[in-house]
């Protein structure tokens, strides 16, 4: 719809992200959280917002998207009605950032539709996203491998500290357990309140893993070193969150078993995205990913609640 100040409709496509872990839950230096994550090529949320005579929503998650759109309109004093159509949606409460991407997509569509002088981070602030992590906002804006700086007492949005293109030939194998969901909403808030104090020593170790191992490894295309850093973060954070995850490092027992099996097979970069239950493994190329996909499908042939996807990183932000 470029070239028109008053388009009739706007489409926005945005992508899932892996949240690979926090690295400072201690907060002794005045900032808390801080996280590392990766934008994915799939799954995606694709929505179309159109001017209408009355509010309406269609498609998976349509009512949720419409609620976000109405929230944004109210905040900006926008008039009129909208029809929101969801053509595809990231699975909800799976650890892939579906809520942030839906909210950002709805808000950005309205920025374009009403020709507002706002940037994606302005939309994030209006939609109250990024309460703990800035990875989803960075994925929407830029894609790639992302590191955010967490929150200080007066932080509005976690600042993006680093962004790297992720190797195009590396592949991400996603493991979905459709029998349950990850911790979210009020349950997530209560989980953070109930967690014990995080040690300063562990925070220091994880910060070093991010700065001196994970980021240089991606810059030099060293998957083994990157995987070692991510696995260490996953183990530390997973064990810390275990009390909110049924006493386990990973939310889904099935996914957890597959991750440990993969690690035992020499796949170094494995983990759970956010609270799960989605798991991931990162390998060197498409051939290796397809071989692992076949093996996992065979192992889970009798488990109807499990399914899998091979994707790659997305080194760009949303499309509209």
- Residue 308 clears pLDDT 90, i.e. is over it: yes
**Residue-number span of the structural domain to which 178 is assigned:** 9-311
Q: Could you tell me if residue 178 is inside a domain?
A: yes
- Binned at pLDDT 50, 70 and 90, residue 188 comes out as confident
Q: Could you tell me if residue 177 is inside a domain?
A: yes
We report the CATH number of the domain holding residue 264 as 3.30.230.10
Q: Could you tell me if residue 2 is inside a domain?
A: no
- Residue 94 clears pLDDT 60, i.e. is over it: yes
**Angstrom distance (rounded) from CA 21 to CA 232:** 10
Q: Could you tell me if residue 51 is inside a domain?
A: yes
**Angstrom distance (rounded) from CA 289 to CA 6:** 45
Q: Could you tell me if residue 110 is inside a domain?
A: yes
Give the total number of structural domains in the chain.
1
Largest CA distance in the chain: 58
End-to-end CA distance of the chain: 9
pLDDT in tens, 214-260: 999 999 999 999 999 999 999 999 999 998 888 899 999 999 999 99
Coil vs helix vs strand at 47:
strand
- Residue 1 clears pLDDT 50, i.e. is over it: no
pLDDT in tens, 23-81: 999 999 999 999 999 999 999 999 999 999 999 999 999 999 999 999 999 999 999 99
Pair of tokens at residue 23: 């690295």
Q: Could you tell me if residue 81 is inside a domain?
A: yes
Coil vs helix vs strand at 84:
strand
Least confident of 112-116, 241-245, 295-299: 241-245
Give, to the nearest 10 degrees, the angle between helix 223-240 and helix 200-209. 160
Q: Could you tell me if residue 317 is inside a domain?
A: no
Strand partners, 18: 38
The whole-chain average pLDDT of the chain stands at: 95
- Binned at pLDDT 50, 70 and 90, residue 3 comes out as very low
Q: Could you tell me if residue 3 is inside a domain?
A: no
| pTM across the whole model | 0.94
Distances (CA, A) of 231 to 33, 210, 260: 18, 11, 11
Residue 60 DSSP code:
T
Average pLDDT over residues 291-313: 97
């Amino acid at each position: 719809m470029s070239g028109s100040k008053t388009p009739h409709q706007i489409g926005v496509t945005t992508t899932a992200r892996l949240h690979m872990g926090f690295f400072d839950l201690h907060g002794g230096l005045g900032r808390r959280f801080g996280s590392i994550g990766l934008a994915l090529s799939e799954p995606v949320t694709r929505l179309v917002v159109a001017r209408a005579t009355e509010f309406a929503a269609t498609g998976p998650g349509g009512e949720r998207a419409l609620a976000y759109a109405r929230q944004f309109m109210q905040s900006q004093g926008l008039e009129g009605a909208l029809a929101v159509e969801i053509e595809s949606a990231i699975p909800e409460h799976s650890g892939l950032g579906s809520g942030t991407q839906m909210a950002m997509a709805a808000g950005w569509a309205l920025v374009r539709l009403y020709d507002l002088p706002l940037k994606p981070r302005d939309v994030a602030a209006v939609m109250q996203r990024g309460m703990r992590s800035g990875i989803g906002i960075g994925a929407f804006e830029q894609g790639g491998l992302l590191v955010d700086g967490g929150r200080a007492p007066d932080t509005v949005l976690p600042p993006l500290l680093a962004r790297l293109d992720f190797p195009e030939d590396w592949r991400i194998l996603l493991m979905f357990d459709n029998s349950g969901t990850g911790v979210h909403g009020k349950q997530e808030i209560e989980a953070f309140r109930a967690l014990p104090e995080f040690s300063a020593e562990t925070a220091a170790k994880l910060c070093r893993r991010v700065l001196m191992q994970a980021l240089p490894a991606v810059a030099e295309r060293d998957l083994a070193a990157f995987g070692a850093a991510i696995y260490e973060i996953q183990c530390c954070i997973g064990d810390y969150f275990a009390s909110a995850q049924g006493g386990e490092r990973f939310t889904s027992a099935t996914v957890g078993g597959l991750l440990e099996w993969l690690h035992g097979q020499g796949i170094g970069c494995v983990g759970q995205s956010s609270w799960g239950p989605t798991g991931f493994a990162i390998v060197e190329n498409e051939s290796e990913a397809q071989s692992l996909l076949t093996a996992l499908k065979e192992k889970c042939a009798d488990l109807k609640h499990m399914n899998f996807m091979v994707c790659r990183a997305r080194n760009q932000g949303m499309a509209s």
